[in-house]
Amino acid sequence: MNMIQKRIVLACGVRTPFGHVNRGLADFRPDELGTLALREVLNRSKLDPKLVDGVMMGWVGQLSNAPNIARVCSLKAGIPNEAIAFTLHVNCVSGIEAIASAARQILVGDGELFIAAGTESMSSFPYSIRGARRYKGLKTLEDLKKNWTHLLEDPHIEVGDCMLEGLRDPVKGMIMAETAEILAQTYDISRDEQDAYAIQSYARAIKAIRNGIYQPYVPPIKKEGQGGLENDENPLLRESFVIDPEKAKKAPAMFDSEEYPFKQFWDSYGNEIKGKKFIAGKTRGTITPFNSCPRSDGAAAVIVTTDEKAKALGLDIMAELKGWGFAGVDPALMGVGPAFAVKRALDQTKLSFDQMNVIELHEAFAAGCLAIFKVGQEKFGHHWYDQWKSGHVNPHGGSIALGHPLAASGIRILLNLGYELKKDSKAKYGIAAACAAGGVSGSMVLAKYEG
């Protein structure tokens, strides 16, 4: 290990348009999306692949047909065998961790130039058949096929939906939307507030797409004979909610219906909602598909290197990486984690929240964002709500509108942040943050690059 003191920068970032699950990008495998992102970075930067010391790629829906997907995508993109590559799985902060991991490699002297990336195809999340292979129906693939019709009758064999399991915290035994409802009840966040937040996310995203804000770093992608995407898919699918906000009121509450009364939710998770009581006829569920981020497909990548190396190679520097911070909270309150990760990142960089000119916050759920606003203000004096109202938080829309391809979202919010800092002559500092299942959260501080 040879610790060095270097300025680290992000350069030549790019991402695919984000596709709504089972729609525009459904025919792209996660390794195809990741390879596309890496190739686009190499092409746009005119970087010789031989100069890449390694690839760090986040991937949440990890399958067995592309083990160590970072290596698979690296080789398919034309990066030489000598480059290292490893895959990260930190749920929705995987992209932030990919950048932090690349920076650490540089700081300890293990290389000078890395590509950090994230890829996800939620459309291809599999179903699983689990059980010890010693059982009759699972000894071989041929046995499985032969006993297919009787598998569900075998008590030793379990069939699961990896999509639903991947969005559930096994420690607390609750899906992510349930953690958002716990935050809404804990911090008295109404459905109307959440819907208003979601409508604003859509409005900003649609305006950004129409004004070409994303075009410089979100190229259209196509797959021969199977279509593709030119723009992020979800915002334009739900544009009618922005035109007619009353439509949001018609979205069904996830945990408050005739089939699943909200009292039942409260009976299951009321112990997590501290200091509150269920009041029949008054306490209502608030989380809906509209005020939650959609499941998505997509990939993103960015070069992480020293400013010295970037300038020597003529790379388009987005921003300087000042530091980062990761924090953990109760998994049942996972959505509020960024309030604490941001505090840690600011402490590490010796900067204040008020110095942040641009803020990018991953929007898993509107309830989580609004809880962050409250907790950040109460605990640390961070004026999140004021910054959001003035358009400094997610100025061009967030995950609720743009979509959330799990491991790619951390890179996406940092691309938003870096390019906004580069474009805005008055902006000097910015911060990005995301929550993740299990209560882990991450945050990263960037500064306008001044060579």
Give tens-digit pLDDT for 157-170.
888 888 888 899 99
pLDDT given at position 153: 84
Task: Tell me what the mean pLDDT of segment 241-258 comes to.
Answer: 95
pLDDT given at position 157: 85
Mean pLDDT of the chain: 95
pLDDT given at position 4: 60
Q: What is the pLDDT of residues 40-73, one digit of tens each?
A: 999 999 999 999 999 999 999 998 889 999 999 9
Q: What is the pLDDT of residues 91-117, one digit of tens each?
A: 999 999 999 999 999 999 999 999 999
Confidence tier at 3 by pLDDT (50, 70, 90)? low
pLDDT given at position 76: 98
Q: What is the pLDDT of residues 188-220, one digit of tens each?
A: 999 999 999 999 999 999 999 999 999 999 999
pLDDT given at position 144: 84
Cβ 335 vs Cβ 179: under 8 Å: yes
pLDDT given at position 150: 82
pLDDT given at position 225: 63
**Is pLDDT of 172 > 90?**
yes
| Catalytic residue (choose from 92, 293, 362, 369) | 92
Q: What is the pLDDT of residues 287-334, one digit of tens each?
A: 999 999 999 999 999 999 999 999 999 999 999 999 999 999 999 999
Share of the chain above pLDDT 90, in %: 86
| Catalytic residue (choose from 20, 362, 392, 404) | 404
92 is catalytic: yes
435 is catalytic: yes
**Is pLDDT of 389 > 60?**
yes
Burial state string for 240-264 with b = 16 or more CB within 10 A and e = fewer than 16: ebbeeeeebeebebbbbeeeeebee
**Is pLDDT of 1 > 50?**
no
**Is pLDDT of 257 > 90?**
yes
| Catalytic residue (choose from 12, 293, 369, 435) | 435
Confidence tier at 226 by pLDDT (50, 70, 90)? low
pLDDT given at position 131: 85
Confidence tier at 235 by pLDDT (50, 70, 90)? very high
